[in-house]
Amino acid sequence: MENYVKVSKDVFAPIVELVRIGLFRDEKDALVGIIREQVALRYWAKVEVRGFVGTCW
């Protein structure tokens, strides 16, 4: 069983725009940055829920 998901091209339009205005070098860099940011946000949300110091918000 493969771990892939089909995604339409119009989903990537905002990412291409981020590259075009110079926030990222290329589409791969943009995707990696966005994914890392989402992982960090979810991690800190879990830490905050567990009662630890959650000063990210």
The structure tokens listed for 27 are: 């589409």
pTM for this model (two decimals): 0.54
User: pLDDT tens across 4-13, in order?
Assistant: 667 677 777 8
- Among candidate residues 45, 38, 8, the one with its CA nearest the CA of residue 30: 38
CA distance 54 to 23: 28
User: pLDDT tens across 12-53, in order?
Assistant: 788 888 889 998 899 889 888 888 888 888 887 776 666 555
CA distance 57 to 24: 25
Residue with tokens 């905050």: 48
Q: Phi first, then psi: what are they for 50, rounded to 5°?
A: -75, -10
Residues contacting residue 24 through CB under 8 Å, at least 6 positions apart: 18, 30, 33
